[in-house]
Amino acid sequence: MEFKDRKVLVRVDFNVPLQDGGIADDTRMRAALPTIQYLINQGARIILCSHLGRPKGQVVESLSLRPVADHLSSLLGKQVAFSSDCVGEVAKTAASQLKNGEVLLLENTRFHPEEKANEDGFTIELASLADLYVNDAFGSAHRAHASTVGVANKLPAVAGFLMQKELQYLGEALAEPEHPFVAILGGAKISDKIGVVDRLLQMADRMLIGGGMANTFLAAQGFDMAESLVEEDAVTTAAEILKRAGDSLLLPSDLVVAAEFDEKAEHKTVAVGSIPEGWRAMDIGPETVRVFCTEIEDARLVVWNGPMGVFEFEPFAAGTQALANAVAECGGTTIVGGGDSAAAIRQAGLTESISHVSTGGGASLEFLEGKTLPGVAALLDKKT
């Protein structure tokens, strides 16, 4: 597309954690810089829009994107203008004053309930600010909102470089996976990932399951999980998956358990089936770590989504950290889904050692499941 002299609305994913009025983690912002810088160099007039948090259609001052505009200014080394609304006269005036190569960030789109409802009038207002639309927010591509789908149907719409990278890595990995292919799934719930488990089991040579979701599988095998998080409604489903999976699905053989859900709680390592009454599983144990890391070692493709335990508590982070190191040292293609597993990779300082760390937790899960992402489907097909 030709961008010079054109106003370009760019949907970015600046849903970043805030702390003490500043940005606690700017990973998602940095991921958008190649697209923004390219548009600056092309002489576009750049209008950025994003959501932040869950304001539920209300103006919530603590979820304002103003601090994000200030931080983006420092990342780009140039002033980023800010509009106190994403639609209306204030947004129109700010957009109309842009010169080539200048950047404007609009206020949180979710301050308006019409954003999530993909309401047509709101969409038309948002689209009226620009001539072209670029979606670079893979993390929001699974949402059919006004700023991800509605605007794409009103303006010529294309993908940004981050969106392209996400689709390329995830898409190519699943289209023709290299083998051995090892899938690692963790996190709290199996119910969120049943579709992903089913699809990856058809492709992966090994599936390693840890975290809270492993508890439900272990309960399905008949183990007493004491006070561990178990999704009772999903035990039957877990049993059916185990039957289909055979020996390709590996579960923990030992666990780090705690007397209560607390960072300072008494804890110890026990074999599966030996959790003391009243205790709960908090991490995979050292023998499980050894087995899982051996599987990862020789893999040609690793896809990882979800931590192995309560890794935000230091005593229960060892399993997740060990797998992060194993994935980083693997010689194959390594893809880490967004969310907590991406946070674990960042905490360990291993981001540069991973082939691709996704910026989208929910979006990457739905993509891995084989679902069509509305924000992607709405973009122009380059073949037409």
Residues 74/79/83/86 CA torsion (nearest 10 deg): -70
Angle at which helices 340-347 and 318-329 pack, to 10 degrees?
Answer: 80
Quick check: is 339 catalytic? yes
> Is there a contact between 310 and 316 (Cβ–Cβ < 8 Å)?
yes
b/e per residue 130-166 (b: at least 16 CB within 10 A) = bbbbbbbbbbbbbbbbbbbbbbbebbebbbbbbbebb
Quick check: is 195 catalytic? no
Q: Which pair of tokens denotes residue 259?
A: 């007397």
Quick check: is 337 catalytic? no
Q: Which pair of tokens denotes residue 73?
A: 């200014």
Residue 126: CB atoms within 10 A of its CB come to 28
Question: Rounded to the nearest 5°, which phi and psi values hold at 291?
Answer: -65, -45
Given the residues 11, 28, 110, 143, select the one marked as catalytic: 28
Residue whose C-alpha is closest to residue 211's, from 43, 354, 341: 341
Quick check: is 361 catalytic? no
Given the residues 339, 360, 361, 375, select the one marked as catalytic: 339
Q: Which pair of tokens denotes residue 170?
A: 């995830």
Given the residues 92, 189, 199, 371, select the one marked as catalytic: 189
Give the separation between CA 6 and CA 289, rounded to whole angstroms.
53
Q: Which residues are tagged catalytic?
A: 28, 189, 339, 362
